[in-house]
């Protein structure tokens, strides 16, 4: 059974850097896209971007392009989300999720079927 | 970027009733690209429906999805206590995904 295990909660100051992780316990890490999703306090889900660990192909939502960096190390089945300089507005719960595909009639369907437990990031002076 | 608008924002119902949740896209989306998720308080989202109408593994058949083009619906028949939660629609296309703002199903 695939599980995505995320790193623990972080408390940081504005301007600090941070890298959080998402480890896949299964054996097919390189064959699925991994997505990162933000949930600000009391708010909905926001798509940040995806990475294909097999070749590190990365796609960002326009809202997050240039604000974060998504990466992966397939040798240890781990994806990462990092910030170079945190802001208070980065305070949120961050989820990683596996983007799986199913072949339906004449097309592929993609959806996130396995989720990590979430990593809370708090940025405060 | 495709914008998804969910309605209503909050749905107040009693256990045993039927819930009908709407998701409208700002432009036509492929039926295969629309999914629904459930999020209970303090938990990660859970995939309910992919491809507009296919139930994910382990999802009870009281959950059903339908729709095409710009209008999609999630129906929950005979609400159980554990179904009171927030529901999100999501679309994926051209390597970019977007979520609706969510519909909260609360106990009346």
Cβ contacts of B49 within 8 Å, gap of 6 or more: B35, B36, B55, B56, B59, B63, B64, B65, B74
Measured CA to CA in angstroms, residue A79 lies from A18, A19, B60 at distances of: 14, 10, 31
Q: Mean pLDDT over residues A8-21, rounded?
A: 98
A68 vs A81: CA distance, rounded Å: 7
Report pLDDT digits (tens) over A71-109.
Answer: 999 999 999 999 999 999 999 999 999 999 999 888 899
φ, ψ at B67 (rounded to 5°): 120, 170
What local confidence, expressed as pLDDT, does residue A77 receive? Answer: 95
Identify which of B30, B46, B101 has the shortest CB distance to residue A107.
B30
What local confidence, expressed as pLDDT, does residue A52 receive? Answer: 96
What local confidence, expressed as pLDDT, does residue A83 receive? Answer: 98
Test B44 with A110 for CB contact under 8 angstroms.
Answer: no
What local confidence, expressed as pLDDT, does residue A28 receive? Answer: 83
- Residue B41 C-alpha, separation from nearest chain A C-alpha, in angstroms: 10
A72 vs A49: CA distance, rounded Å: 13
What local confidence, expressed as pLDDT, does residue A107 receive? Answer: 86
User: What is chain B's Cα-based Rg?
Assistant: 13
- Residue B16 C-alpha, separation from nearest chain A C-alpha, in angstroms: 27
Band (B75; pLDDT cuts 50, 70, 90): very high
Identify which of A44, A99, A116 has the shortest CB distance to residue B88.
A44
Q: Contacts of residue A50 in chain B, CB cutoff 8 Å?
A: 95, 97
What local confidence, expressed as pLDDT, does residue B89 receive? Answer: 98
Identify which of B32, B90, B101 has the shortest CB distance to residue A108.
B32
Chain A residues contacting B via beta carbons under 8 Å = 35, 37, 44-47, 50, 59, 61-62, 95, 97, 99, 102, 104, 107-113, 115-118
- In percent, the amount of chain B with pLDDT more than 70 equals 100
- In percent, the amount of chain B with pLDDT more than 90 equals 93
What local confidence, expressed as pLDDT, does residue B15 receive? Answer: 97
Band (A2; pLDDT cuts 50, 70, 90): confident
Instruction: Select the residue from B92, B96, B102 to test the A interface by mutation, using most A Cβ atoms within 10 A.
Output: B92
Report pLDDT digits (tens) over B18-71.
Answer: 999 999 999 999 888 999 999 999 999 999 999 999 999 999 999 999 999 999
Identify which of A46, A61, A102 has the shortest CB distance to residue B50.
A102
**Span between the terminal Cα atoms of chain A, in Å:** 40
What local confidence, expressed as pLDDT, does residue A48 receive? Answer: 98
User: Do B67 and B52 touch, CB atoms closer than 8 A?
Assistant: yes
Report pLDDT digits (tens) over A17-43.
Answer: 999 999 998 888 888 999 999 999 999
């Amino acid at each position: 059974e695939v599980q995505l295990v995320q790193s623990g909660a972080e408390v940081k100051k504005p301007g600090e850097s941070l890298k959080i992780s998402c480890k896949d316990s299964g054996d097919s890490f390189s064959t699925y896209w991994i997505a990162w999703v933000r949930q600000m306090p009391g708010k909905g889900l926001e798509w940040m971007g995806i990475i294909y660990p097999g070749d590190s192909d990365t796609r960002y939502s326009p809202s997050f392009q240039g604000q974060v960096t998504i990466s992966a190390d397939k040798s240890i089945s781990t994806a990462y989300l990092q910030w170079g300089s945190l802001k208070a507005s980065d305070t949120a719960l961050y989820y990683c999720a596996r983007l799986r595909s199913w072949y339906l009639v004449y097309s592929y369907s993609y959806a996130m079927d396995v989720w990590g437990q979430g990593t809370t990031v708090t940025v405060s002076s | 970027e495709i914008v998804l608008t969910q309605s209503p924002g909050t749905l107040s119902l009693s256990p045993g009733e039927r819930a009908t949740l709407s998701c409208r896209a700002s432009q036509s989306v492929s039926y295969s690209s629309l999914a629904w998720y459930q999020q209970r308080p303090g938990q990660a989202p859970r995939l309910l429906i992919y491809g507009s109408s296919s139930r994910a593994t382990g999802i009870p058949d009281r959950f059903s999805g339908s729709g095409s083009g710009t209008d999609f619906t999630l129906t929950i028949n005979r609400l159980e206590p554990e179904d009171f939660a927030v529901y999100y629609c999501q679309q994926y296309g051209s390597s970019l995904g977007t979520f609706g703002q969510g519909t909260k199903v609360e106990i009346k």
